[in-house]
Every structure is written in C-alpha cells, then in structure tokens.
Amino acid sequence: MNRLMKVSVLVLALAHPAFVCADDTIRVLLAQDVQSVVVESGHGVLIGDGHGRERFLAGRVVLGAAPGGVLVNGARVQSFHVTCRGRSDELTVRIGEAWSRDSAAGRTAPVPQGPGGQNQSSSAVRVSGALHIFVRAGRLLVVNEVDLEEYVKGVVPGEMNAAWHAEALKAQAVAARTYALYQRIANLDRPYDLVAGTQDQVYRGREGVDDRVAGAVDETRGLIVTYQNAPILAAFSSTAAGPTEDAMMVWSKDLPYLKGVECPFDENSPYYQWRAEIPVPFLEQSLRKQGMPVGTIATLTPYLYSRSGRVDKIRILHSEGELILRGQDFRKAVGYSVVLSTQFEVERFGRLLVLAGRGSGHGVGLCQWGTKELAEHGYRFDTILRYYFPDTVLQQAGSIRRASATDP
C-alpha cells in the first residue's frame, strides 16, 4: 500500500472514528425486499418510531410496509424507519418471504458442517442488539445492529464447525472480526455494513453459540489482522487444495497480504476433490440468465490459468459465435454449490459437461480446512493467520483508532 492509499484509509477512518472500536456495533443486513417481519421477545418489544418516541408491545409484533410509513401490528407509523429492541436483549426475528437475495453470491465456499446461510422462507433467527426496519420502495429492509463481539460469536459457528480445535476457532474469530471492520470502512454510505450470508459472512445470530465458540471469541476479544495499521480484507474460504489464490485474480485487488501461499494442509477436506455433471441445456440457460447471448454450445475449453492453477478464462464456442468468460463468472452463472471452485478440468463434453475439480471457494486468504489441520498440529491461531496473510500484524482494534487520530 503506498502513502496515498494509506492516507485514504485513515481519512475514511477519521470520517467514521468509531469504526475500529472493539466494543462498537456492526450493522448486519438480515433481509431486503420483503413484505413482512415478525419480531418476538420473552419480555416484550420496545418499538422506536424514528422520532425519539418508544412504546412497549407484548407478544408478537408484525411489521410491514405501508404508504407513508411502517405498519406495526396493522397500525401505520409515520416513519420510514422503526427500531425494535427486546427487553431481555434478545429478539426472535422471522422474515415473511425470504432471507436475503444477496445471500447466495458466494463470497465463501460451503462451510464444513454443510450449506451456509439462512436462505429459506420464513426463517427465524435469535439476535441481540437492535433491529432496524426501513421502508424502501414499498418493501422492507431489515438490519440488525449488534455488538461487534456478539456478531463475531454469531459468525464463527456459521463459518466453521464449532467442534474444531480451539486455535482454529480463534483464527476464524479474528478473521471474522477483521473482515467486519474492513467492510464498515468500505460501506459508510449504506444503512448496513455487511450481509448476513455468504456474500459476506454467514451470521446466524445466537444459533450454535456454545462455550467453545464464546471462548474463542472472548479470548481474542478486539484482536484484528492489520496491514500498515488498518484492518485487512480478511478473506477466507473452505478448501484451497493447493496454493491459495491471489486476490488480483478474483477481485482485481492488488493487496500485498493476499498473494498466494502454499497450502498442503487440507487433504482431509471433503471438498478436496469433487466432480460435477452439468446438463448442457442448463448451462446455456444459466449463461443467458446472466445476460450472455449464447446459442447452442459446441465446445467449452479452459485456456488461461492463474499462477495457482485455477481457471482464469474459458472459451465457449456456440452457434451464435464465441464467448470468452472469466472462470469466476462461469462459476457464478452455473452456481457456487455446483462448481465448487475454479480449479477444475473438463473431463467430458457431450449432453453433459463433466468437470473434475479440487477445492471449494475462491481460494483467497485463509483456508479453513488448512487452519483445522495446522491447529491440530499445535500451531497457534496467530501463527496461522500470519501464514495465510503475509506481512500482517495482529493488534487490538482500539490501538488502531488511537494511532489514526495522531498519524499525520
């Protein structure tokens, strides 16, 4: 990072000076573009109307959108933003139609214990902190403002098996905390900092938070990974199955700490090798849905690879011409749960496209299954993080805030 980039980061920090406070809050998008939300709390719900007025409601509270404001149990509130708080500091939230339309965008790979994210209709989640309900174009946007450390506790079991080694859980906790603070700097102009799904980090509120998870978060409280005194983009994915990937190949970000490193540690991952069978008509339809005007596909050939051996470019010949596609865009079009990574070969092409692949996820940054193996071999969480994020420093978030206030 050059001097100008560093100054830019500090300017953003000073514009929002609480961004690195370990005891601060994170705004998490739970749902958007939905019609209704049901909120419950064992000791009742405090509803704020956006104008400094609060009232107490017992039992279930149903919120919806109405012309000119928010519906609260059928009564219109003259505000496009209401807040909900549980008197017991816990709310059960049920989304009426869907979780988040962004939740399948695939920032991370499938997590060790199964599919990540809460993407079902009428999903329920228990959260602490406040719930913000915004009306946008006649629909609702739902944001959980939660203490940073409580947020991290809600991420760790969503992204890593809570039965794994304590040092692995600690590494995941620090990465999740760092990623959240990085995204808060990057998204000052939005009503939320990040999404509660795989587009950012899988956040499940208080679901799955046990003593192991709480201990990993508490023992690393406030600790983040930094580069030149700023939180890093602490990317992680499930299984590298070889060298990790350079962020430039995936997100066109030239970050010194997100260059590929060797990762011979994850051979026990269930995603280390995989095979996918994709009907060619399904492939054609999927590409068209992404706005790619393809005809009948005749051949599909990877022809350019990244330094780590992943597919960078694919050449598709079809009845309407030729399509050159990034490997990442191919994976997005077909589905992240179908093509687990861009590290694959075409095994057969006919009525079915058959891929033989390795690894799961984008492969950038920390490898979760590699972290598991290293932790089981006695490596501490800080050593693991420094290995996957070279040239970085672990430090307390509060110390960065103090430095940013005095650094010229």
Of 82-86, 94-98, 203-207, which range is least confident? Answer: 94-98
Q: For position 123, what pLDDT does the model report? A: 73
Burial category of 336 from C-beta neighbours within 10 Å (exposed 0-12, middle 13-18, buried 19 and up): buried
- In the structure encoding, which two tokens stand for residue 57, read together? 């409601």
Is the predicted pLDDT of residue 107 greater than 70, yes or no? no
pLDDT grade, residue 14 (50/70/90)? very low
Question: Residues near 180 by Cβ (< 8 Å), separated by ≥ 6?
Answer: 26, 148, 151, 152, 155, 193, 194, 201
Is the predicted pLDDT of residue 116 greater than 70, yes or no? no
Q: Which residue has the tokens 């490898």?
A: 367
- In the structure encoding, which two tokens stand for residue 196, read together? 């509660």
Q: What angle do CA 110, 330, 101 make, to 5 degrees?
A: 55
Of 362, 369, 319, 318, nearest to 343 by C-alpha is 362
Radius of gyration of the chain (CA): 22
Q: Which helix (H) or strand (E) holds 214?
A: helix 211-219
Note the pTM of the prediction, 2 decimals: 0.86
Paired with 294 in beta bridges are none
pLDDT grade, residue 46 (50/70/90)? very high
3-class DSSP state for residue 110? coil
Query: Measured over all CA atoms, what is the biggest interatomic distance in the chain, rounded to whole angstroms?
Result: 65
* Angle, in degrees to the nearest 10, between helices 211-219 and 148-159: 130
Q: Which of 49-53, 117-121, 195-199, 376-380 has the highest mean pLDDT?
A: 376-380
- In the structure encoding, which two tokens stand for residue 213, read together? 């998870």
Distances (CA, A) of 66 to 39, 115, 219, 296, 358: 18, 35, 45, 46, 49
